Every structure is written in structure tokens, then in C-alpha cells.
Chains A and B, each alone.
Chain A
Amino acid sequence: MTSANGASANGSSGASANGSSGASLHHDAFFYDTDDSYVAALVPPIRTALADGLPVMAVVPPSNADLLSAALGTSTGNVEFIAADQWYRHPHGTVAAYHAVLDDLGGRVRPLVIGEVHFGDTELDWAGWTRYEAALNRALDRHDAHIICPYDTRSLHRTVVENARRTHPHVFEGEARTASADYVEPEQLIPHLPPTAQVPTRPPDVRLDVDGTIREARQAFAAAATGAGLPTDEVERLTIAVNEVLTNAAVHGGGQASLRIWVDGGGRLTCVVEDRGPGIEDPLVGYIPPSPGATEGYGMWLARQLFPRSELTSSPDGGLTAVLATA
């Protein structure tokens, strides 16, 4: 397997392209505002990777897929194109999906991934994906891969673009990669990023103190979700998630918790579980998949995989607040 360092396009910041000499994750932001600069910057590293026999994934909007295909010509067939809005549906799900891809490659080859995050329409969505970008630096750090995240500065909100400099250690500029002066390690950054799920301001529709068995709370949640018109399998999924958070509160959170549920029109539901335990220090909980055979940590991972948006906030005077929200 040849090194992908041969060409200059990838820069030279000590990139280790051969998996066996130590995993190296490169997670770069790439800012563009024209079609030409998009193609000019991304096609050369794609060509180089293909020439080196490395896998290339381009998770980009269809319009950009067309641009790249046109420029790559006959090499297009060797690139795996995935529509960005299909891949980026759920931040925690996407972390898991990248893990699966990279685990399958087993460190034998160093893939190139063009990952153009589909940020969505609302500020809460942007917050979720920004947190995802931050978490990726830790969640995938045992893998060998070069991930370039294109940011269209014409269409993305200013804060999304600014945060990209905080969530990526390097900026990819085609000819070179430069360190991002604004990069902050995810453990420090995530607690300061805007939340992707918030406690609603109006009084809850259901309020329950959970003391002892959590079955009652779980059933109250299932009833509320069913009453909100959610289909059976979604109720089942979300109930499992809420149960994991309640279980966490019972085991780690001092055993007493409160459950509040808000039901809005259109099947939108927010659920808040609050305990008075020590809280969770790790801001990355639920972003890092548990290691196989782990006996702890998989509950929160599962809960965050099953709920579209979730926030875990530890309070300075003790206690964990878990906000789980659909849509």
C-alpha cells in the first residue's frame, strides 16, 4: 500500500497514511463560495486517493456530486457518492455510521471522506450538527482517515461557518492544510455550544416524580407519546430511550428523578428527566460508542441514537438534566 503523501495536495502535516504506523484522523474544514473553487480544491485529493487505491466516499449534496463527477470523468465510478441529506439525518446515528464504515475497513486502508454536513433548517438542527462536528474529533480518533468537510459560505449561517473553525483542527485549502487557530478540543468546546434541545418554557403536560420503580414513568411516557399520535414503533423506540435515561438516573443519579413531558402538535414531543445526582462530567457521553462487551455507557448511547435530539447538561450544584426531543 503506497502512502497518500506523495502528492502535495494533502499537505504534509505529519500525515500518516499507512494504517499500520499509527492511526491518524485528519478532520479538516474546507470553506468555499464558488463551484470552481469547490472542484479545484477537492478533485486533486480524490484523484490521488484513487490512484493510491484508497476508498473515497463523497457525502455531498447532489449538485456538488454532479460537479465532482463531471470533473472526475471516468474515475467517477470509483467514488462512492452518498446524498448528504440521506447520510446526515441524525447526529448520533451519523457518528455510528462512520464508525461502521471505518471499522469495516479495519485500519487496512486510509479512506478519503468528503463529508459535507447537511445542517438542516433550524437553529436547533445547526446546534446538533455543530456538536457532532466537535464530537467527531474524539469519537473517531482511533481511526485512520482523512475527512474533509466542505462548508458553503454562501448559504450556511454565519455562526455555523464560524463554529467550523472551532470544530476542525485544520482548514483544508487545496494546496495546503493549515492549523485552525480557533480550534478547541471537544471536551472544552461542547459545553459552550448552543443546545440542540431545550426545556420548553410553558408548563409540562405530564409531570411525574420517579422514586423507585421506573415502570410507571415509562408507561406514562408511552401513553403520552401514543396520545401525541406517534406510530407504535416510534413509541416503542422512544420509550426504550427514555427508560435508559430513567435507569441512568436511578443507578447513577441518586435514585430520585422527575419526568416532565410536553406534547406539541404534529407529533412533537419533548421529555425532560432531571435527577439530583453527581451529573455526568464527560460532555461526550452518548457520542462515543461503547466498546464491545462494555457493561456501562451503552444505555446513554442507545438513548441518544433513538431520540432525534438530546442534550445532557450537568448542573454546577449537582444533578443531570436530560432533554430529549423529537423533530
Chain B
Amino acid sequence: MRSSGVLASPSASPHSHICSVFDGEAAFRDAAVDFLGAGVKQGERLIYSVDRPSVEALRDDLDDLDDVDTLVDDGALLLRPLFEVYGSPDGFDVERQTETYRKAIAEAVDDGYSGLRVAADASGLATTETHRRRMLQYEMEVDRTMAELPMVALCGYDRTRLGDAALDFCAVHPESVSSGTDPAMLGFRFFYDGGRLCLAGEIDLASRPLLPAALDVVAATGDAELVLDVAGLEFVDAAGMSALDRLAHEVLSTGRTMRVEGASATVRRCCEILGLDALESTMAEAAA
């Protein structure tokens, strides 16, 4: 089972995919130094990717990282200006980018590393609504890969550049960290585990603002059958159930099928009371 939830600080477990919503570049730099330093101990190849004009500027960011120059020279730390890795915001391709990381993981393993560890400030790829929507989709897609392959990542989104829209990214990562943000607002999250899409945490008034963007991404995942495992959803209110019902409507209306597994009998009963027929139809009977 992958680790999931709101973290006090960005520390990775296997397959961690952490969303960090921070305020100002310096905050991400400091977090990246600690995060990448931990990766050295894990024997992982490191990638640092931020919206900087040059490799030198990236190297300067990591001044406080022990033996940073040696790591670079040995190929243990790759410094990649953001748009070099991901392409320009308009040229960004979700599948191609996911494939790029798959290859990088394979290379790292071939080269004797235990896996890949990435610290990336992707704010530059999310400054417009269109780009943000695509990045959200990418994060969910690459999470599918990360759930199965030896890669961990710290994905930074700068609130001073993106505003509160940065928090939308927390809902499509298994783990998130954001000092100065009420954890209740980051109440729920979508992520992959055991080969299926999971919805965990709590959906209530506090976390409601993050629902629309997250559900848009889920609706766009493109699987012919959308399977949603809600066993880890500890609480969902009427508004949350209604939103999930709208998701079910949308998915079903495109001719796809949808299955919600792990819903409690109480939640199913609530759907019945609220007349949420579409959602109810997707819920399996509880195992005896």
C-alpha cells in the first residue's frame, strides 16, 4: 500500500509522489536540498528540474546539498531546466512526458541505482488554466507509472505564481505538503495503488473547493472502464456524493462503464436517499 495523506515535511517512502505547494522559490529550494539529500542515501539517481535559464543556475540552487559537484560529475544528479525536460507549456505532451520518465527510470536501474528521485518545480507549466488542466492530467498519469516503478518525486507548485489554484494539484497526488495551508482543505486525494485509481481521505466543506478540478481530471482519464476504489475514503458529505454522482453521469454518458468499489453500506444508503442513481448504480454490493 502506498503512503498517502498530508505530510508535515516532504519525506519519501517507496513510490512516494508528493505535491508541495509552497510560497516563493526559496522554500522549494530548501525542501529540494533535503529531499534530494535523502535520495543519495537511498542510492537513487537524482533529477532536479526547475524553471531556470541554465544548468549553472540549477547547480547554484543546490549549493547546500553535500557533495553536489561530485554528484553532478558522477551522473548521480542530473540538472535539467524545466522546459528542457518537459518541453514548452504549449508543446507539453502527457504521454510523451510519462514515457520520458519511464526511460529515465530504466536507465537509472541499468546504471546501478536503486531508482529515480525527482524534485521539480513545475509552476512554469501551470500558469494558465489550459496548461494547469493538462498538468493535472499528467500528474495523474505519471502517478500510475510511479505506483509500479522505482521512482519518487517531489512536485512543487508555487502559490505566489499560481494562487490558490496550486492547491488543485494536491488532490491528484497521494501525498501533499503545504505549510500555511489547513490540512482539512487537502482532505482528499486521487492516486493509483494496486493497479487501480483510489480515492482516499475526507470530502467535506473544507476540501470541497478542490473537487471540481480533480473530478475533471478523473473524468478525462480515458479508461474504457473507470474503476474507483473508495475503501480509503473515510468521510464524504452530501455535496461530495452529489459531485461523484455528476462524475458518474459524465463517465457513463460517454459510453464508458464505471465501478466504485469499497463504498460502505451507509454511503450507498445515502446515495439512495439523495436519489443519486448514477453513482448508486456504480457501487458494488459489499462483500459478505
Interface residues of A (CB under 8 A from B): 96, 212-215, 218, 233, 236-237, 239-240, 243-244, 247, 250-251, 289-290, 292, 295, 298-299, 301-302, 305-306
Contacts and interface: CB of A to CB of B under 8 A. Distances in A.
Nearest to A235: B266
Nearest to A296: B239
Contacts of A236: 264, 266
Contacts, number: 58
Interface string B261-272: 000111001100
Contacts of A301: 273-274
A216 to B, nearest CB: 9
Contacts of B265: 233
A206 B239 CA distance: 27
B273 A240 contact: no
Nearest 10 pairs between A and B by C-beta?
A213-B184, A236-B266, A305-B273, A247-B205, A299-B238, A302-B238, A215-B184, A213-B206, A237-B266, A298-B238
Given A214-B205, A215-B184, A218-B204, A244 B238 contact: yes
Contact of A240 (B182, B187, B266): B266
Given A299-B237, A306-B270, 6 more contacts: A213-B182, A233-B265, A237-B269, A243-B204, A298-B238, A301-B274
B250 to A, nearest CB: 14
A20 B266 CA distance: 38
Interface string B253-287: 00000000000111001100111000000000000
A237 B269 CA distance: 9
Chain B's interface size range is 20 to 34
Interface string B163-191: 00000000000000000001010010000
B232 to A, nearest CB: 15
Q: Which of A212, A215, A292, A295 has the most CB of B within 10 A?
A: A215
Contacts of B239: 247, 299
B237 A244 contact: yes
A305 B271 CA distance: 12
A239 B169 CA distance: 29
Interface string B108-141: 0000000000000000000000000000000000
A289 B273 CA distance: 9
B270 A243 contact: no
A214 B238 contact: no
B212 to A, nearest CB: 13
B264 A218 contact: no
28 contacts: A213-B182, A213-B206, A214-B204, A214-B205, A215-B187, A215-B202, A215-B204, A218-B204, A233-B265, A237-B266, A239-B235, A240-B238, A240-B270, A243-B237, A244-B237, A244-B238, A247-B204, A247-B205, A247-B239, A250-B205, A289-B275, A295-B242, A298-B242, A299-B238, A299-B239, A301-B274, A302-B270, A306-B270
Contacts of A302: 238, 270, 273-274
Contacts of B270: 240, 302, 306
A302 to B, nearest CB: 5
